[in-house]
Structure 1
Amino acid sequence: MAEISLTELAVLVVEPSSTQRRIINRALENNGICSIIEADSGEQALTLLDQEEPDLVISSLYLPDMTGTDLVHRIRESKSHPDTPFMLISSETRFRYLDPIRQAGVVGILPKPFTDAELNTALSTTLDLLDENPMEMGELDADALQVLVVDDSPFARKHIARILGSLGIQRIDQAENGLHALEMLNQNFYDFVVTDYNMPHMDGKELVDHIRQQSTQSSLPVLMVTSEENENRLAAVHESGVSAICDKPFEPSTVRQLIRQMVATTD
């Protein structure tokens, strides 16, 4: 599908409360969404996902038979629709509950209540993911860029690779942690690295430190895409020489801008 518009999006809303479903549906309609499918449980949502093949799933975190985390993981592990964009709407704010959702790759995590602007941003991100025409990278030759994606979550790696693919970047290698990334860096030259912060064996900061202090590619641009909220840790990452930091979830347009800035700086 190419150049899909909001009016063409089919959205599956998974919410046990009929009142909350009406609120979400009204907000979607206000944004031009015409096709809305409803489910009040995770299992019903999975059945409808197979039957209706919606373009986007919007779910609450707490469902009667599973959590939104369980639901997005079931979707990501499925063979028929693993890349379906997923959006969470929840009043939950605790890191330990939201981080697994972020790691699975989502177009947005919206609060209750959410604003029209927050919903529109997440819907726009959905369109970017579904559009088969790569976003323009300006003067950069996306086909020539070679990128290393580092994240211990296979879901997150796949999501980041998909975002990069929407920018026209296809030469993408993947590493599951910092140590694995170092092996890849010793074997290949990359135009930039996209890495998570929290990883086993060697985290994102340690990876950046090694690149800046010991690697033959010491000036290699590094974009850190992370859900880390500790300001002291993020400050230490900045000091280590990371080129840019982007929150999870993120917009493709934001990543595009950061990549252009990073790569242009090294030219």
Structure 2
Amino acid sequence: MTQLSPDELSILIVEPSEIQRRIIIKHLQQEGIISIQSAANITEAKGLIERHKPDLIASAMYFEDGTAKEFLDYLHALPECKDIQFMLVSSEYRREQLEVFRQSGVVAILPKPFNAEHLGKALNATIDFLSHDELDLSHFDVKSLRVLVVDDSRMARNVIKRTIANLGIEHITEAEDGAQAIELMRDQLFDLVITDYNMPSVDGLALTQYIRNESQQSHIPILMVSSEANEAHLSNVSQAGVNALCDKPFEPKLVKQILYQLLEE
């Protein structure tokens, strides 16, 4: 196991307000973070990243030269930046404005103002994403586990793949939606399905119903990863046969605990 500590993290703060930058820096220093850089806009941040790639970017939502979403898209397009974690720090509360960040695989969405607990969870999630902590299972060789990851967001699939790969899982198959997952399951056997809830064509609920009622793999564990807060929807997927639910953005430590429970039952 390779485990980092907070004082080993390198963090870039991208925030247009000098006062807010100072507040965030103070919070990070209280958490033991030593390596901290800051930028007032996206252009300045890009220049800093070219010289030194941080482990984590803590970004505001809006800047004079763009938005956090545009900045995140820029980072995702660069192979050399694929391991940089991204945390949104914003006073935005509207679900429709935040949903795109949940689907993009950010490590955390922190409110303004945030507290020590919010920040601590985000830093721990960053460390878990960057660390390797193999699952120790009694009934499976983790390296032989066959996992099907189903999500219409490529970025979300990448986050899930990276998370479970850090747990030692090597055999990962991707599907862009429930319809493609069903086709794959007709020809291949899997030990675990990790699926999104909201997808076009065949969503997570319909996929779960197919697995439980029509497939030859009806007893396979299903973990649903979703930002869906509608209690009626979540009740429906539970009744359909989902074994566990996990929020977006999710915490790798929690995912490890859930997978351990599902695969050791």
Q: TM-score, normalised by structure 1?
A: 0.95
Distance change (3 Å), C-alpha of 1:95 and 1:143 = same
Q: Deviations over 1:87-125 (max 9, x none)?
A: 111111111111111111111111111111111111111
Q: CA deviation at 1:253?
A: 1.2
Q: Give the AA of the match of 2:79.
A: K
Q: Give the AA of the match of 2:156.
A: A
Residue 25 of structure 1 pairs with residue 22 of structure 2: no
Residue 177 of structure 1 pairs with residue 162 of structure 2: no
Q: Contact between 2:56 and 2:85, CA under 8 Å: does it hold in 1? A: yes
2: CA distance, partners of 1:129 / 1:50: 22
Q: Give the AA of the match of 1:11.
A: I
Query: 2:260 matched to which residue of 1?
Result: 260
Query: 1:95 matched to which residue of 2?
Result: 95
Query: 1:204 matched to which residue of 2?
Result: 204
Q: Which structure 1 segments of 5+ residues have no match?
A: none
Q: Contact between 1:87 and 1:106, CA under 8 Å: does it hold in 2? A: yes
Q: Deviations over 1:216-242 (max 9, x none)?
A: 111111100011121211111111111
Q: CA deviation at 1:2?
A: 4.4
Alignment of 1:40-51 (within 5 A): 40-51=40-51
Q: Contact between 1:137 and 1:256, CA under 8 Å: does it hold in 2? A: no
Q: CA deviation at 1:137?
A: 3.2
1: CA distance, partners of 2:189 / 2:46: 42
Q: Percent identity?
A: 44
Query: 1:166 matched to which residue of 2?
Result: 166
Query: 2:133 matched to which residue of 1?
Result: 134
Alignment of 1:50-89 (within 5 A): 50-89=50-89
DSSP 3-state at the match of 2:91: coil
1: CA distance, partners of 2:8 / 2:264: 36
Q: CA deviation at 1:138?
A: 4.5
Q: Which structure 2 segments of 5+ residues have no match?
A: none
| The 10-residue stretch of structure 1 (179-188 or 38-47) with the greater mean CA deviation from structure 2 | 38-47
Q: Contact between 2:137 and 2:264, CA under 8 Å: does it hold in 1? A: no
Q: Deviations over 1:101-156 (max 9, x none)?
A: 1111111111111111111111111111212x324434353112110000001100
Q: Deviations over 1:195-234 (max 9, x none)?
A: 0011111111110011111111111111000111212111
Query: 1:122 matched to which residue of 2?
Result: 122
| The 10-residue stretch of structure 1 (208-217 or 42-51) with the greater mean CA deviation from structure 2 | 42-51
Q: Contact between 2:9 and 2:33, CA under 8 Å: does it hold in 1? A: yes
Query: 1:156 matched to which residue of 2?
Result: 156
2: CA distance, partners of 1:255 / 1:89: 23
Q: Contact between 1:225 and 1:247, CA under 8 Å: does it hold in 2? A: yes
Query: 2:4 matched to which residue of 1?
Result: 4
After superposition, the CA RMSD in angstroms is: 1.4
Q: Give the AA of the match of 1:70.
A: E
Query: 2:234 matched to which residue of 1?
Result: 234
Q: TM-score, normalised by structure 2?
A: 0.96
1: CA distance, partners of 2:107 / 2:96: 19
2: CA distance, partners of 1:158 / 1:38: 27
1: CA distance, partners of 2:134 / 2:63: 36
Q: Deviations over 1:145-186 (max 9, x none)?
A: 110000001100000000001111111000000000011111
Q: Contact between 2:135 and 2:260, CA under 8 Å: does it hold in 1? A: no
Q: Give the AA of the match of 2:162.
A: R
1: CA distance, partners of 2:157 / 2:85: 15
| The 10-residue stretch of structure 1 (7-16 or 228-237) with the greater mean CA deviation from structure 2 | 228-237
Q: Contact between 1:134 and 1:165, CA under 8 Å: does it hold in 2? A: no
Q: CA deviation at 1:6?
A: 1.2
